[in-house]
Amino acid sequence: MEDIVKNKEMDVFDSVTPEVKLRTKKMMMWFIIFAVVMLFGGVTSALIVLKGKLMWMHVTVPTAFWMSIFSVLASSATMYWAIQSLKAGRVKNAM
């Protein structure tokens, strides 16, 4: 009996409608995006703020750091424009 219970997967969305499933998944994705943005912002602001303090060892920010910021911003803008094109019905522009 215990083997049957252990092998059975539990789905927390069994008793809810598809709309609730989608809304819940979207909300969780927004929480994850918010957490990543806050982590990125916190590390970046700590680097900038502590760089001016005397206790901070003065190092130059690696070029790869600035390149990664640029690539994240560029890919976010591209994704936003693609989604807007799809919503407007311009599938060719989104590809």
| Residue range 65-88, pLDDT digits in tens | 999 999 999 999 999 988 888 888
Distance CA 82, CA 30 (A): 19
Are the C-beta atoms of 95 and 86 separated by less than 8 Å? no
pTM for this model (two decimals): 0.46
pLDDT < 50 regions, the chain: none
The confidence score (pLDDT) of residue 87 equals 87
The confidence score (pLDDT) of residue 34 equals 95
